[in-house]
């Protein structure tokens, strides 16, 4: 039997960091996916392969351990946690193919976790729905990382654009948002936990300055929600630029992120900002009609991905 599943990566359009303090956020699934294939094993070993990142390991699922055969570990922890939680230890072959750069702030860990869970549910013929899957995937991310916001796994499961309100209500945008964006990324990725802690310390030292900034980031996200609903791209671009400035204020930008953001704007992006935790990682640029120019400008120094937001969330099937 073969079970296959895929799930999209995500970018945060508005509200990273301020969301930690209860402010709203907007994130969306992008048309870059992680693909998992599970097959019966041909010997009595369980093997995990990720050819795109040159990784291979034999998994000892009962012990939650692995024997490294090739590459550097990391993403394997999510696969092992899923197996440890759900699998009956029969030997299987697992392959990960990914269009998503791993560890660059585009939610690769969530995409891999959601796809792995869905494929394994299919393999074992376990019924699931998106609600239970999003919940289980969040639990896996939390178990591996210690802390994780539910946003990444939610977006990877449901697809589409998601608005998380101040009282943590999730709203799915019902709007055509098929407009081109360019993502720039560095492989040097800030540690999310550390970045969140640094912002907290800055806020504690300078409450009168930083608290209003966090509130403004939330207000800006609410304006962005309206602009998205109206498909007012100039307004969305303007708000992205302001959001980037606020992220600079709270100290999460780096030379590389700023370089990508300003290279994008110089090449014609109508808005560009750091996306995710910062300290390295990714930027996102809104550039209708200027995709090639913006991609070329970013690619001079950094890596580029042309993306669109997609409504397609997790997808899975089984072949007998």
Q: To 10 degrees, what angle do helices 255-266 and 291-299 make?
A: 150
Stretch that binds ligand ATP, among 104-112, 174-182, 224-232, 289-297 (CB under 6 A): 104-112
Binding track, positions 12-41, relative to Mg ion; x by CB under 5 A = ------------------------------
Give the footprint of ligand MEV on residues 4-43 (CB under 6 A). 12, 16-17, 19-20
| Cβ atoms 34, 9 nearer than 8 A | yes
Using CA atoms of 106, 109, 112, 116 in order, give the dihedral in degrees to the nearest 10. Answer: -150
Pick the catalytic residue: 152, 198, 301, 302?
152
Residue 102 binds which entry of Mg ion, ligand MEV, ligand ATP, none, CB below 5-8 Å type-dependent: ligand ATP
Q: How far is the CB of 104 from ligand ATP (least distance, A)?
A: 6
* 277 is a site residue for ligand ATP (CB under 6 A): yes
Distance between CA atoms of 319 and 306, rounded to whole angstroms? 32
Q: How far is the CB of 163 from ligand MEV (least distance, A)?
A: 14
Give the footprint of ligand MEV on residues 172-231 (CB under 6 A). 192, 196
Q: To 10 degrees, what angle do helices 130-145 and 151-158 make?
A: 150
152 belongs to the catalytic site: yes
Residue 232 CA: distances (Å) to CA of 177, 178, 220, 223, 227: 11, 13, 14, 11, 5
Among 8, 28, 105, 280, binds ligand ATP (CB under 6 A): 105
Between 149 and 316, CB nearer to ligand MEV: 149
The token pair that represents 271 in the structure block: 């808005």
Backbone angle region of 200, left / alpha / beta, with phi > 0 → left and psi within -120 to 50 → alpha: alpha
Backbone angles phi, psi at 134, to 5 degrees: -60, -40
Say whether 109 counts as a known binding-site residue. yes
Residue 149 binds which entry of ligand ATP, Mg ion, ligand MEV, none, CB below 5-8 Å type-dependent: ligand MEV
Stretch that binds ligand ATP, among 38-46, 62-70, 103-111, 160-168 (CB under 6 A): 103-111
The token pair that represents 253 in the structure block: 């930008």
Say whether 212 counts as a known binding-site residue. no
Between 196 and 314, CB nearer to ligand MEV: 196
Contacts for 93 with CB less than 8 Å, ≥ 6 apart: 37, 38, 39, 40, 41, 42, 46, 47, 49
Between 104 and 272, CB nearer to ligand ATP: 104
Task: Enumerate the active-site residues.
Answer: 152
């Amino acid at each position: 039997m073969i079970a296959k599943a895929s799930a999209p990566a995500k970018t945060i359009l508005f509200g990273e960091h301020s969301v930690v303090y209860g402010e709203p956020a907007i994130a969306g699934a992008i048309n870059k996916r992680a693909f998992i294939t599970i097959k019966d094993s041909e010997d009595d070993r369980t093997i995990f392969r990720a050819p795109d990142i040159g990784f291979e390991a034999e998994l000892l699922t009962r012990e939650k351990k692995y024997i490294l055969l090739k590459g550097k570990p990391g993403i394997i922890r999510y696969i092992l946690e899923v197996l440890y939680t759900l699998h009956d230890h029969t030997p299987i072959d697992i392959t990960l193919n990914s269009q998503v750069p791993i560890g660059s702030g585009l939610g690769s860990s969530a995409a891999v976790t959601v796809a792995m869970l869905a494929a394994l549910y299919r393999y074992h013929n376990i019924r699931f729905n998106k609600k239970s899957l999003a919940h289980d995937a969040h639990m896996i991310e939390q178990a591996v990382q210690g802390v994780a916001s539910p946003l990444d796994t939610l977006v990877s499961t449901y697809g589409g654009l998601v608005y998380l309100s101040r009282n943590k209500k999730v709203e799915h945008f019902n709007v055509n948002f098929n407009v081109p964006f360019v993502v720039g990324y560095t492989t040097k990725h800030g540690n999310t936990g550390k970045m969140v802690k640094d912002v907290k310390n800055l806020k504690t030292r300078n409450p009168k300055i930083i608290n209003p900034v966090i509130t403004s980031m939330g207000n800006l996200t609410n304006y962005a929600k309206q602009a998205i609903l109206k498909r007012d791209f100039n307004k969305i671009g303007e708000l992205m630029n302001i959001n980037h400035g606020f992220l600079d204020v709270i100290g999460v930008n780096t030379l590389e992120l700023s370089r990508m953001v300003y290279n994008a704007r110089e090449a014609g992006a109508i808005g560009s900002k750091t996306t995710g935790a910062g300290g390295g990682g990714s930027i996102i640029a809104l550039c209708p009609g200027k995709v090639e120019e913006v991609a070329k400008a970013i690619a001079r120094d950094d890596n580029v991905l042309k993306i669109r937001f997609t409504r397609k969330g997790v997808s899975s099937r089984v072949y007998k």
